[in-house]
Amino acid sequence: MSRRSGNSFSSDVIKRLLQALAESGPLGKTRLSGKAGINYEMCIKYISFLLLLNWVKINKVNGTEHVSITSEGIEHLRKLQGENGRKGLDVKSDTNVSLQSLKGNRSSSTQIKTVYQQHLPKDKYKNIVIVDDDENSLMMYESFLEHYSSSFKVKTFSLPEQALRYLIDYPDSYDLVVLDIRMPRMSGVRLFQALKAANPDAKVIFLSSLDAGPELLDFFPNIKPNQFVRKPVDRNEFIRIISAATS
């Protein structure tokens, strides 16, 4: 049996789930799995993923959990349907996200959009997003690329959930994503899976202090050996690999 089965997210399944919620309104998990045409276990897995992205939310109705689509979910559904998709989509869900629901949520896509409204022209720099839970490492990587080269502009994230929201909300704002593999709450592998589901064309390089290359290559045959940077990172090698990946 392939080890890759069940380890990635399909944009088609995401579209079917969001479509079912948009057309039917809040649904119980069992009914949602039927509406979307997927098995219950897979449905639960995708609901967890969509909750992370704030594309769906869960409310209790008569003691039973019901899933409904959020405003962010509606926006992403329209993107999945394309520019000529159903502009008159009849949404049977409360898609208002209250200020109270965002209080204390540092990962909110609404907050991310407020912070990152402006981007440097892509023809001036190669825009690199680096995700690592170690703040000191982020400062070092940023210094390597921006202080020793005039070709790069770097955005760093120590919270993978926050990075994922930015990467999905602004798919045209970066040329390369650099991910640390080992991070708490969301590993670089999980972030990679979620990013690829939303943006299949994203270019990704992995950072790791372990020899994780063979394992990842087994799970994801489209990843190449040169997409790994071994820690501790050598400055010149790091710049060389990033330059080659964005050339």
Domain of 115, CATH number, reads 3.40.50.2300
Residue 91 CB-density burial (10 A; 0-12 exposed, 13-18 middle, 19+ buried)? middle
Do both 121 and 238 map to the same domain?
yes
The predicted pLDDT at position 233 comes to 87
The predicted pLDDT at position 49 comes to 80
CB 205 within 8 A of CB 178: yes
Q: Which residue has the higher pLDDT, 144 or 85?
A: 144
Do both 135 and 187 map to the same domain?
yes
Do both 124 and 163 map to the same domain?
yes
Domain of 91, CATH number, reads 1.10.10.10
Do both 152 and 237 map to the same domain?
yes
Parent domain of 147: 109-246
Q: Tell me the mean pLDDT in the region 169-198.
A: 90
Say how far residue 96 (Cα) sits from the centre of its chain: 22
Amino acid occupying residue 146: E
Do both 120 and 54 map to the same domain?
no
The predicted pLDDT at position 79 comes to 79
Kindly report the average pLDDT of the chain as a whole number.
77
Do both 69 and 146 map to the same domain?
no
